[in-house]
Amino acid sequence: MEKLFVWVVLACVLLSLWTGRTEAAAGALLDCGSAAVALALTLAGAYCLWCGVLEVMERAGLTARLARALRPP
């Protein structure tokens, strides 16, 4: 997968140089980079919240009850 990603990035850079649209490619790269960081932070927040909820459930004994209730007969 890494090799595919490298080839795609290299192809994009070469095509932007060939067509003379390097400024547009650089702008798109920066926009996508900032969007990726924002998405990662959003998902990290949701992950932390869910881990906290599961920790509270574990300490309250709810996960064991839920496991028993969902166990096949």
pLDDT digits (tens, 9 = 90+) for 53-67: 999 999 999 999 999
User: For the chain, what is the mean pLDDT?
Assistant: 92
The CA–CA distances, whole Å, from 61 to 21, 33, 49, 50, 54 equal 59, 42, 19, 16, 10
Instruction: Give the global pTM.
Output: 0.57
For residue 28, name the pLDDT band (cuts at 50, 70, 90): confident
Q: Which of 36, 12, 37, 7 is nearest to 24 (CA)?
A: 12
pLDDT of residue 62: 95
At 36, list the tokens.
């990726």
What does 40-57 look like in DSSP terms, one character per residue? HHHHHHHHHHHHHHHHHH
